[in-house]
Structure 1
Amino acid sequence: MSLENQRREYYRQLAGQNLSPLWLSLHNLVTESPRPTIVPAIWKYEEMRPYVMAAGELITAEEAVRRVLVLENPALPGKSSITQSLYAGIQLILPGETAPSHRHTQSALRFVLEGRGAWTAVNGERTTMNPGDFIITPSWNWHDHGNPSAEHGGEPVVWLDGLDIPLIAALDAGFAENNTVKEQAVCKHEGESFARFGYNMVPVRHKPSGTTSPIFSYPYERSREALDKLYRFEALDEYDGVKMRYINPSNGGWAMPTIGTFLQYLPKGFKGKTYRSSDSTVYTAVEGSGTVYIGEESFRFSPRDIFVVPSWYPVRLEADDSGDVVLFSYSDRPVLEAFGLLREARE
C-alpha cells in the first residue's frame, strides 16, 4: 500500500475515534494575523426607519417582548450578529407602550437615536431617554422600558441596542428570566445613581462590587461637553480626533465588562490617518456627516447611520467640510484587554 493510501486509511480511522490530525488544520487555526469572518457594512438609518415604524403597526412591544430589528452582518446571515462577539439591533417603543420586565446574563447597552421621553428602568431606578444618551443594562438586572401616552407627551422613541449575545452563546453561559410583573417596582429617585457616582465623588463608605458601572445612564449633554472642552484645550489626535471611553467611576475601569463604549469628536474637514485594531467595532453617527474607509471599501455616513469595522481592517475617518462629527461606538475591547489580546497599529 502506498504511503498516500496509508495516510488516507489512518485519517479515516482517526475520524471514527473523534480525532483529527492537527498538522492538516494548524495553518487555519494559528494564523499570522486575524481573519475576520465578518465584513465591513453600513446600515443607512433613513432606509431602515420605514421598516422600524412598520413593525410598530404589526406587533406590540408587549407581544414582541422587545420590538427590535436585528442588524445582521452580511457575512453572518441568520446568526443575529453584527460581529463575531457582538449583537446590534434597532428597538422601537411607541407612546403608551411597555416592554415587559425581564433579565438575562447578557450585558446590554442602549444608545438613543430618535425621540424623547421614554424611560428605561434598571434595578428599581428609572431614567428618561433622550437622543445621544448611553444607557446600560447590567448582566442579570431586571429591566423594562416604557413610554408615556401621546396625551402625556409620548412620542415614538428609537434606540440602538448593543449586547454581547454571540460571546455569551459561545461560552454557553446564557440564562434569562421573565419577571412576574410587567413593570418592576421603582424604589429610587431618577438620577440617584448619577448623584452618587457621576460627579467624581462616591459615597464615603462605598465598596466597589461587580464589574459594571454603578451609573447606568450617561447623559449625552455632559459627554458632549467634555469632547468640546478637550477639543479647545488639547491638540487633536491624528487618528481619532478627540476620543473618550465611558468608564466605571468607582474603579476607573470599563463601564461594561465585555463591551467597551466610546464617544469621539471630529471637527469639520478632519481627515484622519489609517489605523488598525484587533477589536471589532460598531459605530453610529450622532452628529454630522462624513466618510469611513474600511479596507478597500468606503461608506458615506450621516446622523444615525450605523457601520461596522472588522478586526484588523485598516480604517480611516473623515468629516465633511460642512460640519463637525460626533461618533458613538462600542467594541469587544475589554475582553481582548483582559486576555492580553488587544493589538493596535497606527500607519
Structure 2
Amino acid sequence: MSDTLLRNRDVELKALYDDVAANHMFPFWATSADVAHDEIKQLMASPKAVPYVWRCAEDIEPILNRAVELITMDDSERRSLVLVNPGLAPRRATVSTMYTAYRLNDANEIMPPHKHSPSAVRFGLKGQGNFTGVDGENMVFGPGDLVLTPNDTWHNHGTVGNERALNLSVLDLPLVETLNAIHFDHDYKEEIDGKIVPLKQQTERFTPDYSQKTYGYGGLMPRFAGTKSRGAGYSSPMFLYRWDMVRELLNKHRENPGDEHDGLMVEYIDPTTGQPVFKTMTFFAQMLHPGGKTLPVRTTSSLLVSPFEGQGYSIVNGKRMDWKEYDTLAIPGGSWFEHHNTSDKEPLVLFVASDEPTLKKLDLYKKWGKSASGQVSQLV
C-alpha cells in the first residue's frame, strides 16, 4: 500500500472512529496493541476498585465528631461517611458491589423510618446505645453486634442513652444501582383506628429480644414462630446477631488450628435455611491465633475487612497494608491477600463482608490458594 493510500486510510479511520464515539458506540474489531482504538486496552482500562485502607481513629472519627456539631437532624436524617474507593471515584462504592459507611449518632437521636431496595447491616463499634428498629422490633446493640436492615423492610436508626454511638454499615447499593433497581421510601404510615396515618416511628410489634429469643439457638427450629415472613421476606428472619455468642463460639475452638487459608471463620446465616443472611452479601467473623497468619488466597468475590479485635496487617497483591481496630480494608475481587496477627499473646478477629452469594448464583465464584511452598491450587 502506498504512502498516499496509507495517509488517506489514517484520515478515514480517524473519521470512522470519531463517528463511532459521537454516536456512543464502541469499535469491537481493533486488535492490534499499537493502535489508538485497541478494544482490549480500552476494555481493561475501565474503572476498577483498588486495595485501600480507611483509618477510623485518625480520619473517620474526627470528621464525624465535627459533623455532629455542624450537621443536626434538622439538616439531614443521616450522618454517615461513605468510603469511596479511589479506583471507582466518584461512584459511591468501596468495592464494585458494596460500600461501607460509618455512622455517628449523638445522644438520644432517633431518625424516622425508611426503606430501600439495597440490603444493609449495622455492626456496632463504640457505645452501648446504638439503636435500629426493623419491622417493629426495636434493637439496642453494642460493639460487635450485627443488625440486619433487609431489602424493602421499614427500619430506623439512632441512639438511646446519654452517649454518642458509632457503627459501621455495609450495603449492596453499588450492585443494586448497577442493576438499575434502586428505590427509597420515606413515607411511613400505619393503620390506626381504621385510618392510614403517617408516623415518625414504627409501632413496636415484637419484644426487643425477639430475634435472639426465637432464632438464636443453633440446631433448633422454632416451628411456633410460624411461616409468615418477617419484613419483606427477602432475608434471614433473625435481625440481630449478638457478639457474645460469636465470641463464645470462637473461644470454644481456640485450640483448633483452623484452616491454613482462612483461620477460624464463622459465617452469619439464616437459621431457618442455613443460607447467607442476604441473597447478595454474606458476613463472617474471622479469627487468627496469636502470632498466626493465613496463607495467600484469591477469590473472584470482593471483600470489605474491618479489624475488630487485635492488631496486625494484610498483604494484598504483594503490598503490605497496616491497619488498626475499626479501620476498613477493601480487597477487590481477583486480588491475592493474606492476613497477619502481630500479637503473640492475643487473637486477631476480623469482621468481613463479601459479595460471594452473588457470584455463586451467577456461577462466577472461584477461590485459589497458595501452599507454604508457593504452589497454587483451586480451592473452590
Query: TM-score, normalized by length of structure 1?
Result: 0.91
Please tell me whether residue 22 in structure 1 is matched to residue 22 in structure 2.
Answer: no
Structure 1 pair 164/8, CA: closer, same or farther in 2 (3 Å)? same
Q: Are positions 1:141 and 2:147 aligned together?
A: no
Could you tell me whether the CA contact under 8 Å between 2:130 and 2:167 is conserved in 1?
Answer: no
Match of 1:309 in 2: 331
1:323 aligns with 2:342: no
Q: 1:45 and 1:84 mapped to 2: Cα distance?
A: 21
Counterpart in the other structure of 2:142: 130
Task: Pick one of 254, 276, 292 that aligns with 1:254.
Answer: 276
Q: CA deviation at 1:253?
A: 0.8
SS in 2 for 1:64: coil
1:84 counterpart residue number: 96
The one-letter amino acid paired with 2:173 is I
- Superposed CA RMSD in Å reads 2.3
Measured after TM superposition, the shift of residue 271 of structure 1 is 2.1
Aligned residue identity for 2:248: E
Please report how far the alpha carbon of residue 174 of structure 1 lies from its aligned counterpart in structure 2 after TM superposition: 0.8
- The question of whether the paired residues in 2 share the 8 Å contact of 1:208 and 1:250 is answered with no
Q: Specify which of 270, 277, 287 is matched with residue 292 of structure 2.
A: 270
User: Corresponding residue for 2:72?
Assistant: 60
SS of the residue 1:23 aligns to: coil
Corresponding position of 2:373: none
Partner Cα distance (1:238, 1:53) in 2: 40
Q: How much does 1:10 deviate?
A: 4.8
Q: Distance in 1 between matches of 2:133 and 2:180?
A: 27
1:108 aligns with 2:120: yes
Query: Alignment identity in percent?
Result: 31
More displaced 10-residue stretch of structure 1: 166-175 or 197-206 = 197-206
1:188 aligns with 2:206: yes
Report if the CA contact (8 A) 2:51-2:329 is conserved. Answer: yes
* 1:169 aligned residue: 177
The corresponding residue for 2:35 is none
Q: Distance in 2 between matches of 1:183 and 1:308?
A: 35
Q: Could you say what secondary structure the match of 1:244 adopts?
A: strand
Aligned to 1:39: 50
Q: Which residue of structure 1 lines up, in the alignment, with residue 216 of structure 2?
A: 198
- For the residue of structure 2 that corresponds to 1:101, the secondary structure is coil
> How far did 1:137 drift?
0.1
Tell me the amino acid that sits aligned with residue 240 of structure 2: S
Deviations 1:227-263 (A, max 9, x none): 222333x332112110121111111111111111111
Q: Distance in 2 between matches of 1:65 and 1:302?
A: 29
Deviation at 1:105, TM superposition (A): 0.8
| Larger RCO, structures 1/2 (Cα 8 Å, 6+ apart) | 1
- The residue that corresponds to 1:237 in the other structure is 259
In 1, the alpha carbon distance for the partners of 2:74 and 2:270 equals 32
- How much does 1:175 deviate? 0.9
> 1:266 deviation in Å?
0.6
Residues 192-231 of structure 1 mapped to structure 2, 5 A cutoff: 192-199=210-217, 200-204=219-223, 206-207=226-227, 210-231=233-254
Q: Which runs of 5 or more structure 1 residues have no equivalent in the other structure?
A: none
Alpha-carbon separation, structure 2, partners of 1:251 and 1:30: 40
Aligned-partner residue type, residue 112 of structure 2: P
**Partners of 2:333 and 2:162 in 1: CA distance:** 40
Q: Which residue of 1 aligns with 2:375?
A: none
Deviation at 1:16, TM superposition (A): 6.4
8 Å contact from structure 1 (residues 263, 327) kept in 2: yes
Amino acid of the structure 2 residue aligned with 1:254: P
TM-superposed deviation, 1:98? 1.0
Q: Which runs of 5+ in 2 are unaligned?
A: 31-37, 189-197, 371-380
For residue 99 of structure 1, give the secondary structure of its aligned residue in structure 2: coil
Matched, 1:332 2:351: no
Q: 1:23 Cα deviation (Å)? A: 2.1
Contact 2:47 2:88 in 1 (8 A): no
1:273 alignment partner, SS class: coil
Structure 1 residues 19 and 74 mapped into 2: Cα distance closer, same or farther (>3 Å)?
closer
Letter in 1 for 2:254: Y
- Is the 1:36–1:310 contact (alpha carbons within 8 Å) kept by the matching residues of 2? no
Larger radius of gyration: 2
Q: TM-score, normalised by structure 2?
A: 0.83
Please give the secondary structure, in 2, of the residue aligned with 1:236.
Answer: coil
Aligned-partner residue type, residue 250 of structure 2: L
CA shift digits 1:318-341 (9 cap, x unpaired): 001242110001021111011011
When residues 79 and 185 of structure 1 are mapped into structure 2, their CA distance, relative to the original with a 3 A threshold, is same
